[in-house]
Amino acid sequence: GAVVSQHPSRVICKSGTSVKIECRSLDFQATTMFWYRQFPKQSLMLMATSNEGSKATYEQGVEKDKFLINHASLTLSTLTVTSAHPEDSSFYICSAGPGPWNTEAFFGQGTRLTVV
Amino acid sequence: AQSVTQLDSHVSVSEGTPVLLRCNYSSSYSPSLFWYVQHPNKGLQLLLKYTSAATLVKGINGFEAEFKKSETSFHLTKPSAHMSDAAEYFCVVRNANSGNTPLVFGKGTRLSVIA
pLDDT digits (tens, 9 = 90+) for B44-62: 899 999 987 789 999 999 9
B79 upstream amide cis, omega within 30 of 0:
no
Inter-chain contact A32–B95, Cβ cutoff 8 Å? Answer: no
**In the predicted structure, residue A99 carries a pLDDT above the cut 70:** no
| CB-defined contacts A:B, below 8 A | 61
**In the predicted structure, residue A26 carries a pLDDT above the cut 70:** yes
A44 has a chain B CB within 8 A of its CB: yes
**In the predicted structure, residue B28 carries a pLDDT above the cut 90:** no
d(CA B74, CA B81): 19
> Which long-range contacts does A34-37 make (Cβ < 8 Å, 24+ apart)?
A34/A94, A34/A95, A34/A96, A34/A105, A34/B102, A34/B103, A35/A67, A35/A69, A35/A77, A35/A79, A35/A92, A35/A93, A35/A94, A36/A92, A36/A93, A36/A94, A36/A95, A36/B105, A37/A90, A37/A91, A37/A92, A37/A93
pLDDT at B108: 96
Give chain A positions within 8 Å (CB) of B106. 43
Residues of B at the A interface, defined by Cβ within 8 angstroms: 32, 34, 36, 41-44, 46, 49, 51, 90, 94-96, 98-100, 102-108
Q: Given pLDDT bands bounded at 50, 70 and 90, which one contains residue B95? A: confident
Inter-chain contact B94–A110, Cβ cutoff 8 Å? Answer: no
State the smallest CA–CA distance between residue A55 and chain B in angstroms: 15
State the smallest CA–CA distance between residue B79 and chain A in angstroms: 26
d(CA B58, CA B73): 16
d(CA B87, CA B10): 10
pLDDT at A105: 82
B97 or A46: whose pLDDT is higher?
A46
pLDDT at B25: 95
d(CA B64, CA B75): 8
pLDDT at A1: 66
d(CA B102, CA A35): 9
**In the predicted structure, residue A102 carries a pLDDT above the cut 70:** no
